Amino acid sequence: VVRQTQLRAVQARVMAEALHTEAQSMADSDVLTGLPNRRSFFRVMETALTGAGQTPFHLALIDLDGFKPINDIYGHSVGDTLLIEVGNRLRRVCGEQAFAARMGGDEFAIILYGDINAADLDAFGTQLCDALRDTYFLGGVTANISGSVGFVRCATDQLTASQLLERADYALYFAKQNLRGAPIVFTEKHETEMRDFSLVDQTLRTS
């Protein structure tokens, strides 16, 4: 009887741990694509920021070009299927060298580990955009979209997560306005433009 009681206690503990692990996994995953979600992304990025001085990385923000018309015309079911395929393609491109997450809607983010050079970053960005541009076959519907990407390099822990996101978002905005479906890396020129826009905005708000 004692052994049976102990066995049941062990089984109950194992089951409770398994349920806890499953619940934690669900809380950290995007329900639709299975990618890590926004919450999980920020936790991983904070960890990356802590060691950025020793291990630099690149942050990328991705926004799909042409997703909304497909979602509006063919419905959410087709739109969801497309997003699932986008998630699959991001996994294939990122492999072990990068962490991909869905931020919400048709927005995704990637943390690319390692202090890679400009040529390798360009190759990764091109591979990423090419993968997103390939035709989608969605159960009778054929769709073509692209993905604009904004990169920012982080080699210091002096920037916060929100500051990095702001810079990656600026590079993404530049891509969507000028080179839709292409990767753009945040530069010192963009930094100057952001600073100038901020000063103009402050002046208008206080005038």
Could you give the residue numbers annotated as active site? 106
d(CA 159, CA 52): 10
Amino acid identity at 70? I
CA distances from 125 to 51, 76, 128, 131, 150 (A): 23, 28, 5, 10, 9
CA distances from 45 to 125, 162, 184 (A): 19, 10, 20
CA distances from 195 to 154, 175, 177, 199 (A): 18, 19, 19, 6
Beta strands per DSSP E along the chain: 57-65, 98-104, 107-113, 136-137, 142-143, 146-154, 183-185
104: its two tokens? 């919400």
d(CA 120, CA 35): 24
- 3 state DSSP class of 31: coil
Query: Strand pairing partners for 46?
Result: none
